[in-house]
């Protein structure tokens, strides 16, 4: 088991957003986390990287235990070294060029030499097709390009798992494809990924497992083929019907 989360609880001002979430991820898994908005899926993902502090729960990552409510700063730093996070709004560093966005973590946090970091960054940017824009600033890029740089920034630190928080939700429809194509390629190469998404096509055809959440609970989770062809829960069936009708 690469990652296991047990009994994750989270309250915001008394409102319970996560009511005991469990998740198991094997190496090479691509897990799509689905659910209507407000189901807690983004909060859950953010808790896994400690961007949000869970009130209760335990995280086991590559054999190391992290108490989610009380993990120390050192523990969190250790976890983040091996993970990457891709945001809905890209969150590229606005005062840095494309190249600097990717090298900053390597040189400042990783104490890597500039030349070496640049080499790694260019390799990562090549993977996402953005090596031609090294000196551009985020404000000069389209949303799709920004998200691709954000993915390269995540890849540069050679993470064992990448968390994606609705990576295509902020994009214009014609730009979604270029980001999904990169994610599909990463999946094919065996990258372990946890993807909060509304892209049913991605969930069905790229992810191998689905976790369906609603109201802070896991309603159903299992292989994606089974989830889409033979959902066990009535609520899952309803959700899939609604989504398919929209598409």
Residue ranges binding other proteins (CB under 8 A): 49, 51, 73, 77, 80-81, 83-85, 87, 89, 91-96, 104-105, 108-110, 137, 139-140, 153-154, 157
CB within 8 Å of 147: residues ≥ 6 apart: 86, 90, 167, 168, 171, 179
The residue among 130 and 240 lying less far from other proteins, judged by its C-beta, is 130
Least CB distance to other proteins at residue 154 (A): 8
- Provide the 3-class DSSP secondary structure of residue 8: strand
Report which secondary-structure segment, H or E, holds 203.
helix 200-205
Least CB distance to other proteins at residue 82 (A): 10
Least CB distance to other proteins at residue 224 (A): 26
Burial annotation 183-197 (CB, 10 A radius, 16+ → b, else e): beebbeeebbbbbbb
The residue among 183 and 218 lying less far from other proteins, judged by its C-beta, is 183
φ, ψ (nearest 5 deg) of residue 56 = -160, 155
- Which residue's entry shows tokens 């088991």? 1
Least CB distance to other proteins at residue 21 (A): 21
The residue among 40 and 154 lying less far from other proteins, judged by its C-beta, is 154
Least CB distance to other proteins at residue 57 (A): 19
Contact 100, 108 (CB under 8 A): no
The residue among 105 and 144 lying less far from other proteins, judged by its C-beta, is 105
The residue among 82 and 198 lying less far from other proteins, judged by its C-beta, is 82
């Amino acid at each position: 088991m690469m990652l296991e989360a047990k009994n994750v609880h989270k309250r915001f001002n008394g409102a319970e957003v996560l009511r005991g979430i469990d998740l198991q991820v094997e190496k090479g898994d691509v897990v799509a986390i689905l659910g209507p908005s407000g189901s807690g899926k983004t909060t859950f993902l953010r808790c896994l990287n400690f961007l949000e502090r869970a009130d209760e729960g335990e995280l086991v990552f590559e054999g190391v235990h992290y108490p989610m409510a009380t993990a120390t700063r050192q523990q969190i730093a250790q976890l983040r070294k091996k993970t990457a996070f891709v945001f809905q709004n890209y969150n590229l560093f606005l005062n840095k060029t494309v190249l600097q966005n990717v090298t900053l973590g390597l040189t400042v946090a990783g104490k890597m030499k500039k030349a070496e970091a640049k080499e790694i960054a260019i390799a990562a940017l090549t993977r996402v097709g953005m090596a031609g824009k090294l000196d551009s600033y985020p404000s000069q890029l389209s949303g799709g390009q920004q998200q691709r740089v954000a993915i390269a920034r995540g890849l540069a630190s050679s993470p064992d798992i990448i968390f994606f928080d609705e990576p295509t939700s902020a994009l214009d429809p014609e730009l979604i494809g270029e980001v999904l194509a990169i994610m599909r390629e990463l999946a094919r190469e065996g990258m372990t990924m946890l993807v909060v998404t509304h892209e049913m096509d991605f969930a069905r055809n790229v992810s191998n497992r689905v976790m369906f959440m609603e109201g802070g609970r896991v309603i159903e989770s299992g292989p994606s083929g089974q989830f889409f062809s033979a959902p066990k829960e009535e609520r899952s069936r309803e959700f899939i019907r609604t989504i398919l009708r929209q598409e």
